[in-house]
Amino acid sequence: MKLGAAMFFTDYSMTPADLARALEERGFESVWSPEHSHIPLSRRTPFPQGGDLPKQYYDLMDPFVALTAAAAVTRTLRVGTGVCLVAQRDPIQTAKLVASIDQVSNGRFLFGIGNGWNAEEMADHGTAFETRHKLARERVEAMKLIWTQSKPEYHGEFVDFDPMMTWPKPVQKPHPPVIVGGAFPYAARRALRYGDGWMPHRRRKHYDDVAALLPQFKQMAAEASRPLDSVPVTIWGVKDADQIRRDRDAGVDRVILQLQTAKADLVLPVLDRWAEVAREIKG
């Protein structure tokens, strides 16, 4: 069982470098950075978790910049987007970003992706909310070709380019794992179709705990002829040691601790407690 931690990196939080060093020193497996390019003031789209949108969503650093800083001061800690909003990003430029951070981290990048929930944010990028899922799939398919072929080309409904040459290629072969974020069952199906893992949040309005749905996910994987080890499950959110044990026994590969957007004096004691939990579980 792997234990990662995520933070909304802002100009009033711990820096990505400081958090990354602290996580690696305490035996954490990975650090994760979310993404929102901006938040439109209309706020017509409701926050999925209910209530007002937290301040850190407005103030978030670019994940690739934050994670590069984290990678530069660590040796073993993996760095992941949690999640990169591929439906709002140019696939050619994003493919280069992914390959570049995989190079500078020496193969430690985890490409967590999601299709987004904020319709107004997407519209500002020229993305239609109703077709975002197909757009994201085409962009992922195109990026995989860019990462793995010397002269890639792609011709889809939304993504279309003739043969090109672009380097660097990623260190990880064939490419960094594409971990598809989102709720059951639709994101789980997308993960099985074109992902290298599934990353749901612990709780959503239509289910109490995603871990209870893992038998259904395993059945879906079997029907899709995907071995489970080719689509490992990362669960975002964790409450206590007992929950981690249940996740481990259910076959979950990784859990991610969501940290407060805060300075070291508040964050480091939390990391110390969870590091001790992880040691106890490992026995």
CA distance 77 to 105: 9
pLDDT at 283: 67
Q: pTM score, two decimals?
A: 0.97
Count of the separate structural domains present in the chain: 1
Domain that holds residue 121: 2-282
Token readout for 78 is 């993996």
Supply the CATH number for residue 69's domain: 3.20.20.30
Q: Are 31 and 20 in contact (CB under 8 A)?
A: yes
Q: Supply the pLDDT for residue 32.
A: 98
DSSP 112-140: EEE--S-HHHHHHTT--GGGHHHHHHHHH
**Ramachandran angles phi, psi of 16, nearest 5°:** -55, -40
The beta strands (E) that lie in the chain are given as 2-6, 30-33, 78-85, 109-114, 154-155, 160-161, 178-181, 198-199, 234-236, 254-258
Q: C-alpha angle 52/62/35, rounded to 5°?
A: 45
The pLDDT, as a whole number, for residue 176 is 98
CB 179 within 8 A of CB 112: yes
Q: Which residues of 196-213 are buried (b: 16+ CB within 10 A; e: fewer)?
A: bbbbbbbeeeeeebbbeb
From the first residue on, what is the mean pLDDT of each consecutive set of 10 residues in the chain (283 residues)?
A: 97 98 98 98 90 96 98 98 98 98 98 97 97 98 98 98 98 98 96 98 80 94 96 96 93 97 98 94 77
101 CB-side CA count, 13 A: 23
What pLDDT sits at residue 191?
98
Distances in Å between the Cα of 272 and the Cα atoms of 92, 216, 260, 277, 278 are 40, 35, 14, 9, 10
pLDDT, residue 61, reads: 98
